[in-house]
Structure 1
Amino acid sequence: MTKVFEQCVLPVLTYGSETWSLTMGLIRRLRVTQRAMERAMLGVSLRDQIRNEEIRRRTRVTDIAQRIAKLELQWAGHIARRTDGRWGLKVLEWRPRTGKRSVGQPPSRWTDDIRRVAGSGWRQAAQDRVLWNSLQKTYV
């Protein structure tokens, strides 16, 4: 059952997540969904009051937040190493003409998540695959 979940359900849940700007609310909703599916796999109800750690230990399924973080870093490395002139990297470097963002706390951008993990020189670090993969493993 775990194998089916890992190979079929998680890829569907995380489709396109490489480009999402992860917020705590989004991570929480994905984890709640994953835990509900894990409980259904085990035939356990919320009324049984079994801790999440115990459910995770029984199912041995990868945490969805870790999977998304790994996919996001893989995609960032792929985009940074591209040299064919497609507009993935151009979109990352794009700045609005006004140069201003909305008032208040600005919404988190995809590159903000990557900078938080790999630092401001993440594009240079991504050029070296060995360094980037080691950074990926330490973060995830």
Structure 2
Amino acid sequence: MMMTREQRALERTLLNINRREQISRNLRSTDMRLMSGIRDVAVYMRDAKKRWARHLVRRMDDRWTTRITFWCPRDVKRALGRPTTREETP
């Protein structure tokens, strides 16, 4: 949310259009994005995350990122429901 708001402000600055002018010219954010030629930051971040996940899955070495991704604790069972409350120590 924060990145998209900042990106829209950057696009308006690049196009030399203020917010009032954008509203009066009935320009949507997608129209301004096409005019500026900048990719949407939220879409780019989502795609980068998927690209990194595919990269981790393809690796066949013994790095810690690969081990953590496929780690499954087999000897520990978690209790159902809310965790028990602890006593505060004075």
Identity of aligned residues (%): 28
Deviation, 1:95, is 5.5
Q: Which residue matches 1:72?
A: 49
**TM-superposition CA deviations, 1:15-43 (whole Å, max 9, x none):** xxxxxxxxxxxxx2211111111111111
Contiguous gaps of at least 5 residues in structure 2: 83-90
Distance 1:47 1:30 in 2: 21
Q: Based on CA coordinates, which of the two structures has the bigger radius of gyration?
A: 2
The one-letter code of the counterpart of 2:32 is I
Q: Which residue matches 1:32?
A: 5
Aligned residue pairs total 75
Distance 2:5 2:52 in 1: 25
Normalization by structure 1: what TM-score?
0.45
Q: Which residue matches 1:43?
A: 16
The one-letter code of the counterpart of 1:60 is G
Matched, 1:89 2:38: no
Deviation, 1:69, is 2.0
Contiguous gaps of at least 5 residues in structure 1: 1-27, 104-140
Deviation, 1:98, is 6.2
**TM-superposition CA deviations, 1:35-94 (whole Å, max 9, x none):** 111111111111212321221121121111221122112111111111110011222234
